[in-house]
Every structure is written in structure tokens, then in C-alpha cells.
Amino acid sequence: MTPNTPAPGDAAGWRAFTASVAARVSDRDPLDVQAELVPALRAALAGVAPADLRRPEAPGRWSVAAVLEHLADAELVFGFRLRQMLTRDAPPLEPFDQDAWAARGDYAAGDPEEALATLALLRARHLRLWRGLGAADWTRVGVHGDRGPETLRDLARIVAGHDLAHRAQVARIVAAGAAPAAADRVTPTLPSRDLAATAAFYARLGFREVFRDAGWLIVARGPLQLEFFPHPGLDPWTNDGGCCLRVADAAALHDAFGAAGLPVDPRAIPRLTPPQDQPWGFREFALVDADGNLLRGLQPLAR
């Protein structure tokens, strides 16, 4: 299933959830976001072993293969709604139970290449239709069974936000690599004034970019993973974002970060302070990134 989706028939829940999905698009052109989906998925999946495509994110959650099946089926739904809204006045838009579709469609056994090819074909056709809309078409309305009236402008943002949500989901599953399917985990989510600049900063520290779009960034260094959301108005000097990096060897990680040549001045942003053994039983160093996020490297000391 898709994490945190409301139950079928939960009208208020679906309105709030859909609004949050559409908000991922921010001020971008939703059709440009839609055009990115297939190339972004192909780039994210390049070199991923077939077995990893079928590994679920967690028990009861979808694998990459299942996400691709869902995206192909959802594209059928979005295309039908688009055509109905263009050719009928205020047509009813029937909701669908994505988990029931996944079960009856046996998403877990689907062919990822076939699903991606189907998605690519449908998306290309629908983008041609979207890009041909006239100014008056964007205000045409359909009435969703759970969410109520929606315009074609709303639908375009919903589709684009849906894309971004599932691109992030695919990136998370791929980033998990060989981690056991049952390994639930929490990752810190930190603010960034500029996601591209943040990715470049952490690349200097040995982190690789796992995923990036206009609304999200994921970087990883071995088992360490950080996620970032855009906050253009962030003041690094008042930012209280941060997290702990609990590691086996704080000095070794500090030395690896030190290759980036960051200042050690405790008043500087960014900065990297040397590790110290603390009376509360940890060897600790501090990394403050260019946005003022504080990352503490912590190694428990032998007692």
C-alpha cells in the first residue's frame, strides 16, 4: 500500500491527503513535473537488481515493482478522468480502492519493465492531451466521489504531486539496498534553503544523492541517510534543526568529514568541531551544515 493513505470513503481524510500531495508541486508547472516521471524512474532504477525491485519497503508495504504497477493503473484512471472532464459537464469521478486493485492485480508478481513501459506509453499520450488544453478547459469541473468538485487545474496538480510522492517512495526503497524487508527505521528530515546546494555540500562529506526533485532530497553515506525539504526563507543562524549520527567510530567519521576542509571556529556556519569524550559516556563531535542544521556524531564509550 501507499503509506498514510486514508481509508476508502474517508472524505475529509482524502481531501486533506490530496491537498498535501498537490502541495508537493509548489510553484512548478505540473505538466513539467509529469514529464519528468518516466525518465526519473528509469534513472532511479538503473542497475537495481531484479530481486531488489520485488523487496517490499516494510511488511505490508509495496515493493518498487508494486509501485510501478500502481503508477500504470493510476495513469489509466487519471487519463479517464481527464477525458470525462473534457467531454462532459461536471461528470462524477468514481474513487477506486488502490489496495483492492493491488490485491486483485497481484502487483507483487508484476513485471516492472512491462509496468514502466505501459506507464511511459500512457503518460506520453496524456501529456499530449494536457498540453493541448485551451484557457477555458482548465476550469472544467468533475465531482470526485470523496473529495467533491475538482477542476482540471486541480487534477493536473494532483497527478504531479502523486508522481513526486511515488518517486520519493521508490527512492526510499532503492536506498534501503540490502536491508531486511522487516527493518523499520526513522530518518531525520531537515530544512534546506536550496536542495541542489545541500546535495553538493553533503557530497563533499561523502554522501551520495539518492533522490532529488523540487520538493525533496535524500542523501546517504553507507547506513547513514538524511532527508531534506525546501525552506527558502530559512535563517541558518536561528535554525534549530538537527539530528544525531550514532556511529561505531566517531573519530573516523569526523576525520572523513574533515577532508572537506570545513572551519572549526565554533561561531562559523558551516563548521566541524573535533571529537571530545563527554562525561555522559559518549565521544562526540558536531557538524553544522550550510543551513545551520546541527548533526552530532555520537559513539558510546566503553564503561
Who contacts 267 (Cβ-Cβ below 8 Å, separation ≥6)? none
Cα dihedral 273, 274, 275, 279 sign: negative
Question: Which domains does the chain show, CATH number per domain?
Answer: 11-175 (1.20.120.450), 189-300 (3.10.180.10)
pLDDT in tens, the chain (303 residues): 454 567 767 778 777 877 887 788 888 899 999 999 999 899 888 888 888 899 888 788 899 999 999 999 999 999 999 999 999 999 999 999 999 999 999 999 999 999 999 999 999 999 999 999 999 999 999 999 989 999 999 999 999 999 988 998 888 888 775 344 444 678 899 999 999 999 999 999 988 888 888 889 999 888 889 999 999 999 999 999 999 998 888 888 898 898 889 999 988 999 999 999 988 889 999 999 999 999 999 998 866
Residue with cell 546546494: 197
Which residues, other chains included, contact 291 with Cβ-Cβ below 8 Å and sequence gap of 6+? Answer: 190, 191, 192, 193, 198, 231, 234, 236, 239, 241
